[in-house]
Amino acid sequence: MLLLHRAVVSAFRHACRFKSTSSKLCIQACSTNDSFQPQCPSLTFSGNNSSTREWRVMGTLLGLGAVLAYHDHRCKAAQELPRIYTREEVRSHSSPETRIWVTLGSEVFDVTEFVDLHPGGPSKLMLAAGGPLEPFWALYAVHNQSHVREILAQYKIGELSPEDKAPSTLKTSDPYADDPIRHPALKVNSQRPFNAEPPPELLTENYITPNPIFFTRNHLPVPNLDPDTYRLHVEGPPGGQSLSLSLDDLYQFPKHEITVTLQCAGNRRSEMTQVKEVRGLEWSIGAISTARWAGARLCDVLAQAGHQLCETEAHVCFEGLDSDPTGTAYGASIPLARAMDPEAEVLLAYEMNGQPLPRDHGFPVRVVVPGVVGARHVKWLGKVSVASEESYSHWQRRDYKGFSPSVDWDTVDFDSAPSIQELPVQSAITEPKDGATVESGEVTIKGYAWSGGGRAVIRVDVSLDGGLTWQVAKLDGEEQCPRKAWAWRLWELQAPVPAGQKELNIVCKAIDDSYNVQPDTVAPIWNLRGVLSNAWHRIHVHASHSPCARK
């Protein structure tokens, strides 16, 4: 018994020494009872110890061993189980002040320290702040590489609660309840109907705009159409043949592909609002995007129905399958001469960037009218007809028209102005952002330029001093065919920051092949609907000069 007694005491003392430091730290970190501290009990053995006392000591040792084992189990469990967070908690961490959290799958990451190290720049990572990374990673394949995941893993702080699901706030009676899910990067100008634009820093990241961030202009709820039962009705002329075309029928026409830029008539309306109030969505510079469209040429479909050019004026009227509660559908029209011209390349499109049209962009079929305002590119196309007058749709007759700055809502006469078709020359600066701070040395300025009617952009001029002096930007993107320049040109200028200059007033203006040029200010082109806003685009940035640079 004495030998057993000595062995147990020796082992116990060794265990106390071994456990002392780590147990104190672990218990302090894991225990909810601040008074609980590990201690090695003092044991005294006398020569007259009875057998009972020895068994009590052994019981104490065994009991303490059980406590230590249980405590170790608790510590390991605490170390292995991640912290659980709700989506609401993640959303509350969306700025440097609150720290920047993001999610990927069910994992939560605190990427505050990584934001400035992000290879694509801090602004792009900040687009996901407080939310999921997936919609943004899907735009750039580089994120699928293993080393990117390894970098992100270093910033993991926990997991999303499996019970935390985003509640639906829409009621089934809501006509917008079935609208599709949208990309979180989009800057929303209205939810119902949904209208949104990509942020400037993503807009010109690619020549072809990815489908998820293509600007969205809806006038009514998005219809959910069955491609198997879809039919496009094409009215024939007197003595001709009316058509009822399924998607498979449209696939039988020769497939035609073109790259086309779409621009809303209200692009850059927010700049007109700064001059005087207008009615309309507060679009910034992002109500414009470019895609590769594919489908049947409208001229081929009209020809099969028996239509041909006529000497008198005629219009092709389009009617969408989106409608308001009264059953009124969105509609628009273009001149028959444009529709029947193979060189105009008007499409009944069923593909966008190599994929079926997304629902927000007209699935299963939409009209694409190159060089013409976006309002005529009718989505969810249900009916095509030819008439002697343009469409009687509200959006053709009572909207999307330009007026003098002197016209107000008391004096406006919509019948006195033609409907907008081709748009004027346009350009805007997408980088740097307005109000940003640029480093001394050299500044890189990026943007887009486009002109309606197939007119090619031949030059973009950029000024760093508000228009006193100018430099010519480098044009990027696809070369344009004469009279068929349907897509934008991206442009870039690298220019030295003037020494000692604390603020740069950066301006851009584009010139097309008809030598149309943007007006220098907004006020002379202001109109009550805020359309056709194409004045010089201006931003102000601050210049940061190091102490050495100022000497």
* Residue 422: how many other CB atoms lie within 10 Å: 14
484 burial via Cβ count (<10 Å: 0-12, 13-18, 19+)? middle
| φ, ψ (nearest 5 deg) of residue 162 | -65, -20
What are the DSSP calls for 533-545, one per residue? --S-EEEEEEEE-
**Strand intervals (E) in 273-406:** 288-297, 315-323, 329-335, 347-352, 355-356, 366-368, 381-387
Annotated catalytic, 217?
yes
At 322, list the tokens.
Answer: 């989106």
Annotated catalytic, 143?
yes
Residue of 230, 350, 400, 448 marked active site: 400
Rounded to whole angstroms, how far apart are CA atoms 400 and 265? 7
Rounded to whole angstroms, how far apart are CA atoms 288 and 439? 29
Residue of 118, 149, 192, 542 marked active site: 118
* Residue 21: how many other CB atoms lie within 10 Å: 10
SS (H, E, C) 113-135: HHHHHCCCCHHHHHCCCCCECHH
Residue of 71, 183, 230, 264 marked active site: 264
Burial state string for 67-85 with b = 16 or more CB within 10 A and e = fewer than 16: ebeebeeebeeeeeeeeeb
Q: Is-contact 276 526, C-beta < 8 A?
A: yes
Residue of 5, 143, 182, 394 marked active site: 143
At 494, list the tokens.
Answer: 């690298």
Say how many Å lie between the first and final Cα of the chain, rounded.
87
What are the DSSP calls for 201-267, one per residue? HHHTSSSSPPGGGS-EE-SSPPP---TTT--EEEPPPTTS--EEE-HHHHHTSPEEEEEEEEE-TTT
Annotated catalytic, 361?
no
Q: Name which of 292, 290, 286, 111 is nearest 185 in CA terms.
A: 286
Task: Work out the widest C-alpha separation in the chain, in whole angstroms.
Answer: 129
Residue of 217, 256, 315, 537 marked active site: 217
For residue 498, say if its preceding peptide bond is cis, omega within 30 degrees of 0. Answer: no
Compute the C-alpha angle 129/131/137, nearest 5°: 85
**In Å, how far from its chain's centre is CA 233?**
34
Annotated catalytic, 118?
yes
Tell me the one-letter amino acid at 65.
G
Annotated catalytic, 264?
yes
Q: 233 vs 245, 366, 485, CA distance in Å?
A: 6, 13, 31
Q: Which residues are catalytic?
A: 118, 143, 217, 264, 400
